[in-house]
């Protein structure tokens, strides 16, 4: 790992990570978008014209931002984690460790590619849904802030998970037993005001709740938490995860075993 900065090398790594998921766009972009659209279709006919209790907004308008954010978070995580675990299984990760790149450059290039993948998936979803749904943009800056910070956080978690995992089963464990439950129980499909008091309190310890609720607030202008306070927490979390990734990569954590 180099001590000097190499912007051109970092840009090359970013292009490689971006092209990697674009080459299999049916799997990395179209499939997640189709899954989210199927959720929307099912819940659209299941819930009809009902409103969300406590928020007084149509359920369909409430559901769209949550599903978009869930797709962004899952794809940001998948982009970095799959890249690293594949490299480790093929035993070629050593070449990235030896590359003339500073640790922060490797981390930022990987995170930037994750953000791009998340934004592409979100854009595809919006383009498909726009003709069929009354989509609002109440606070564009909040949509961008929560979308980018959420993608950075999950991209960083993907880096740390990929560094820790030794085989695909390890990554599947993280994805199926941690990431998936936390996203599904974060208020994507319901308002936390519908839950008993005990479960409402527990839900506030779920970091995905603040990401999805703040992102949703940017679209419909209402939410279950204070979006400004949550935004500060999200920004700090994104910086903390980025710092943790930098430290782990600098020390070659779990990458030299």
51, 59 contact by CB (below 8 A)? yes
CA distance 231 to 237: 10
| Among 232, 221, 228, 217, residue whose Cα is nearest residue 187 | 217
Position with higher pLDDT, 171 vs 53: 171
Residue 36: how many other CB atoms lie within 10 Å:
25
Please give the pLDDT value at position 1: 52
Q: What values do phi and psi take at 51, rounded to 5?
A: -105, 155
Confirm if 110 and 80 have CB atoms less than 8 A apart: yes
Mind listing the pLDDT tens digit for each residue in 68-84?
999 999 999 999 999 99
Q: What is the pTM of this model?
A: 0.91
Query: pLDDT tens digit string along 214-231?
Result: 999 999 998 888 888 889
Q: What is the domain count for the chain?
A: 1
CB 183 within 8 A of CB 208: yes
Residue 1 lies in a domain: no
Q: Is the pLDDT of residue 91 over 80?
A: yes
255 assigned to some structural domain: no
Number of other residues whose CB lies within 10 A of the CB of residue 196: 8
For residue 19, being part of any structural domain is answered with: yes
Greatest CA span in the chain, whole angstroms? 58
In a domain, 257, yes or no: no
Nearest to 74 by CA among 34, 108, 114: 114
- What per-residue confidence (pLDDT) applies to 185? 84
N-to-C CA span, the chain: 16
**How long a stretch of residues is the chain?**
257
Residue 196 DSSP label: -
Report for 62-66, 126-130, 201-205: range of highest mean pLDDT: 62-66
Task: Examine residue 256 and state whether it is found in any structural domain, yes or no.
Answer: no
Does residue 21 sit within a domain?
yes
Q: Is 163 left (phi over 0), alpha (psi -120 to 50) or beta?
A: alpha
Q: Which domain holds residue 92?
A: 7-250
**What was the pLDDT predicted at 3?**
59
Reported as a single tens digit per residue, the pLDDT across 95-116 is 888 889 999 999 999 999 999 9
């Amino acid at each position: 790992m180099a001590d000097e900065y190499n912007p051109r090398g970092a840009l090359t790594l970013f292009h490689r990570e971006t092209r990697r998921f674009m080459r299999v766009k049916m799997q990395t972009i179209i499939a997640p978008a189709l899954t989210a659209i199927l959720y929307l279709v099912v819940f659209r006919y299941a819930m009809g014209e009902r409103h969300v209790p406590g928020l007084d907004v149509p359920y369909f308008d409430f559901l769209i931002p949550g599903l978009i954010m869930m797709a962004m978070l899952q794809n940001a995580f998948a982009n970095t984690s799959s890249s690293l675990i594949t490299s480790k299984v093929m035993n070629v990760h050593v070449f990235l460790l030896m590359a003339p790149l500073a640790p922060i450059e490797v981390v930022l290039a990987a995170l930037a590619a994750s953000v791009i993948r998340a934004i592409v998936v979100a854009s595809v979803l919006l383009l498909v849904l726009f003709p069929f749904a009354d989509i609002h943009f109440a606070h564009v800056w909040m949509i961008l802030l929560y979308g980018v910070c959420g993608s950075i956080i999950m991209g960083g978690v993907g880096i740390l998970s990929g560094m820790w995992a030794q085989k695909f089963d390890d990554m599947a464990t993280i994805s199926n037993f941690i990431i998936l439950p936390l996203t599904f129980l974060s208020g994507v499909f319901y308002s936390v005001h519908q839950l008993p008091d005990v479960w409402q309190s527990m839900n506030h310890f779920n970091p995905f709740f603040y990401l999805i609720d703040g992102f949703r607030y940017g679209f419909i202008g209402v939410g279950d938490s204070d979006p400004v306070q949550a935004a500060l927490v999200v920004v700090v979390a994104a910086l903390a995860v980025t710092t943790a990734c930098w430290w782990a990569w600098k020390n070659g954590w779990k990458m030299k075993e």
